Amino acid sequence: MLDLRPYTCLGAVLRDALDRFSSETCLIEADRDREKVRLTYSDFKEIALPLARALEDADFDPGERAAIIMTNQSKWLISAYAIFYCGGVLVPLDYKLTAAEHLQLLAHSKAKILIIEYHLWRAIMQSPDFSKIATRMVLVTESPLGSDLAGAFRWEDFKRKGAPDFVMRQREDVACIVYSSGTGGRPKGCVLTHENYLEQCRSLTAWYPFWPGVRYLSILPTNHAIDFMVGFIGPFVCGACVVHLRTLRPEFVRDAFVRYRITYVSLVPMIVKNLEKGLRAKFDELPSWKRAILDFFISVNKLFTRRRPKVTFSRMLLPGVHRAFGGELLALITGGAFLEPSTMQFFYDLGIPVVNGYGLTEAGTALTLNDLKPFRADTVGKPLPGVELRILNPDAEGVGEVAAQSKTVMSHYLDDPELTLETIVDGWLLTGDLGRFDGNGHLQLYGRKKNMIVTEGGKNIYPEDIETVFDGLPVKEFCIFAANYVWPKKELGGEILVLVLGLEQNQKFDSKLLEDIMARNRRLPDFKRVGSYLIWEKDFPRTASMKIKRQILAEEIGRTVERSAMVTL
Same domain, 277 and 215: no
Residue 295 lies in a domain: yes
Higher pLDDT, 458 or 527: 527
Residue 182: is its pLDDT beyond 50? no
Which pLDDT belongs to residue 363? 93
Residue 464: is its pLDDT beyond 80? no
Same domain, 374 and 430: yes
Residue 1 lies in a domain: no
Same domain, 358 and 496: no
The CATH number linked to 474 is 3.30.300.30
What percent of the chain is helix, strand and coil (3-state, nearest 5)? 35, 20, 40
Same domain, 105 and 138: yes
Q: How many other CB atoms are there within 10 angstroms of residue 43's CB atom?
A: 18
Q: What's the pTM? A: 0.86
With both helix axes pointing from N to C terminus, report the angle between 74-85 and 41-57 in degrees, rounded to the nearest 10. Answer: 50
Residue 454 lies in a domain: no
What confidence tier does 545 reach under pLDDT thresholds 50, 70, 90?
low
d(CA 193, CA 170): 9
DSSP H/E element including 371: none
Residue 52 lies in a domain: yes
* Domain boundary, last residue among 265, 291, 325: 265
Same domain, 261 and 274: no
Same domain, 39 and 188: yes
Same domain, 347 and 233: no
Residue 557: is its pLDDT beyond 60? yes
Which pLDDT belongs to residue 544? 65
Number of domains in the chain: 3
Same domain, 288 and 360: yes
Same domain, 386 and 494: no
Same domain, 138 and 194: yes
d(CA 433, CA 45): 42
The CATH number linked to 21 is 3.40.50.12780
Amino acid identity, position 92 = P
> What range does the domain containing 230 cover?
10-265
Q: Determine the average pLDDT of the residues in 28-45.
A: 94
d(CA 144, CA 480): 44
* 3-class SS of residue 253: helix
Same domain, 141 and 248: yes
Phi, psi (deg, nearest 5) at residue 392? -90, 135
Amino acid identity, position 422 = E
* Domain boundary, last residue among 417, 448, 479: 448
Residue 43 lies in a domain: yes
Which pLDDT belongs to residue 340? 84
Q: What is the pLDDT of residues 316-372, one digit of tens each?
A: 999 999 999 999 999 999 876 678 889 999 999 999 999 999 998 999 889 999 999
The mean pLDDT of the chain is: 92
Q: What is the pLDDT of residues 467-506, one digit of tens each?
A: 878 988 999 999 999 898 898 887 777 788 999 999 998 8
Query: Using H for helix, E for strand and C for coil, what is the string for 407-453?
Result: CCCCCEECCCHHHHHHHEECCEEEEEEEEEECCCCCEEEEEECCCCE
Q: What is the pLDDT of residues 396-453, one digit of tens each?
A: 889 899 999 999 999 999 999 999 999 999 999 999 888 999 988 999 988 777 777 8
Higher pLDDT, 272 or 12: 12
Which pLDDT belongs to residue 447? 76
Which pLDDT belongs to residue 403? 97
The full DSSP string for 267-285 is: E-HHHHHHHHHHHHHHHHH
d(CA 24, CA 132): 44
CA 148 to each of CA 75, 124, 128, 544: distance values in angstroms, whole numbers, following the listed order: 21, 13, 17, 50
Q: How many other CB atoms are there within 10 angstroms of residue 321's CB atom?
A: 21
Same domain, 314 and 325: yes
Q: How many other CB atoms are there within 10 angstroms of residue 46's CB atom?
A: 12
